Amino acid sequence: MRISDVLRGKGASVATVDPGTTVAGLIRALAEHNVGALVVVDNDSVVGIVSERDIVRRLNEHGGDLLNATVAEIMTADVVTCVPEDSVDSLASTMTERRIRHMPVVVDGKLTGIVSIGDVVKVRISQLETDRDQLQSYIAQG
């Protein structure tokens, strides 16, 4: 299965945030969209990703002043992305090895979707259930 199949099932909308947004604004956006991470976009280009984990880690460093910091100050700028043609299996390996929970999908430099580790797990479970059903059917015929 390809990433394009995952996006077809879940949709391609992506919650984004501007790098100049304050952390207080970021927290509001995370809650509003009910997500764990937002892609940071500047002039339609992916410039970073910021997650709840980034907030928690920086809170230890900045204390209460963190709410006035900008997303650009706490985001991960080295964003690992994928393309719709990538396989779910390769994405699962990359996410596990790099300890990434959210991966933006990019085509020709433009953000076209996002895949979470939850999406990957859902697909893997579905594949396993299909395999199990096929094996049970095969055994029942024998």
Paired sense of beta strands 110-116 and 102-107, if any:
antiparallel
Complete domains list, the chain, with CATH = 3-141 (3.10.580.10)
What is the mean predicted confidence (pLDDT) over 57-62? 84
Asked if pLDDT for residue 41 goes beyond 80, the answer is yes
Give the pLDDT band of residue 142 (cuts 50, 70, 90). Answer: low
The tens digit of pLDDT for each residue in 71-130 reads: 999 999 999 999 999 999 999 999 999 999 999 999 998 999 999 999 999 988 887 887
- Helix pair 117-141, 88-98: axis angle to 10 deg: 130
Is residue 19 classed as helix, strand or coil in its secondary structure? Answer: coil
